[in-house]
Amino acid sequence: MPKRAAQRPKPKPKAKPRAARAAKRPAALKRPAAKTRRKATPRPQRSWFQRWAPTWPWSRMAFLPHHMRLLACAESKNPGAEALRLALSYAGLSYEERRLSPEECQQMLLRGELPPLPVLVVDGQFQLSQVNAILRYVAKLSHGSCGLYPEDPVKSACVDAVMDDCAEMSATFACLQQPERLGLGLEACVERAQQSAKDTVAPRYLDHFERALREAPYGWVAKTKYPSIADFAVACHLRQLFGLPLLKGLDMSRYPQIMAHIDKVIHLDFQHAAG
């Protein structure tokens, strides 16, 4: 029998491009077009300190000063210096106090080396003056530990308002005690102003603080839950005000809330608060 010729294998059809095959598919079987994805921007790596610093009160320990020195005049009973002592002790901040003699104060002031006392020297590098500014600095150092300055904007504004009222009252009576600061040389004018201060000015300020303490829900002058720097400022300034010869004979029984507040601030449990 004659041999059959070997059949050649049929050549395989060439593969069509993917785009051509996809075009022939029914619409129901077509794959949706792939979405282009943006590359995610890599976040910078943050250390544990940076992650916890906004909320962790201990992170503020890194910013505490190493050494603070309070400069005050030795002989003058400055209510601002007393308020600073109470605030520093309540916050549990260590400091050194140096009391300058009146001669030293006068010489340093004449040479321009020292602003009006009291002054807080921080780490020997810069000096803070003005009692209210130093009190706010101390409160921010102790942020979160004893609540000397509230975080809430409204409550902190109330604290600032009380401190401004106290500073205004202090400046008023300081000028009446030392009229030469304002250039008041006429004794008749000074005597008339002092009498007016006793009859109208002092009662106006005292009634204001008496009413604020009566309306305070927790017994603190700025309506805070815990004592604030405003309480130290008000208590020390009013305590000095009651002892002025200018206001001798003033009926203190009209202000029971003020007297109770002064006693409460002076006898605070500082060790418990600092701990």
User: pLDDT for 187-244, tens place per residue?
Assistant: 656 677 777 777 888 889 999 999 999 999 999 999 999 999 999 999 999 998 888 8
75: how many CB neighbours lie within 10 A of its CB?
Answer: 10
Confidence category of residue 2, pLDDT binned at 50, 70, 90: low
Q: For the chain, where do the domains classified as CATH 3.40.30.10 start and end?
A: 61-141
Fold entry, domain 153-274: Glutathione S-transferase Yfyf (Class Pi); Chain A, domain 2 (1.20.1050)
Q: Pseudo-torsion of CA 227, 229, 234, 239, nearest 10°?
A: 80
CA distances from 163 to 170, 171, 236 (A): 10, 12, 12
| Better-scored residue on pLDDT, 80 or 270 | 80
In this predicted structure, the answer to whether residue 57 has a pLDDT above a threshold of 60 is no
The SS3 of residue 73 is strand
| Better-scored residue on pLDDT, 32 or 225 | 225
Fold entry, domain 61-141: Glutaredoxin (3.40.30)
Q: What are the φ/ψ torsions at residue 225 (nearest 5 degrees)?
A: -75, -30
CA angle 181, 75, 197 (to 5 degrees): 40
Task: Say what the pTM is.
Answer: 0.70
Q: Can you name the residues that pair with 96 across neighbouring β-strands? A: 69
Q: For the chain, where do the domains classified as CATH 1.20.1050.10 start and end?
A: 153-274
- Tell me how far apart the alpha carbons of residues 116 and 137 are, in angstroms, rounded to a whole number: 18
The answer for residues whose C-beta is within 8 angstroms of residue 166's C-beta and 6 or more apart is 230, 233, 234, 237
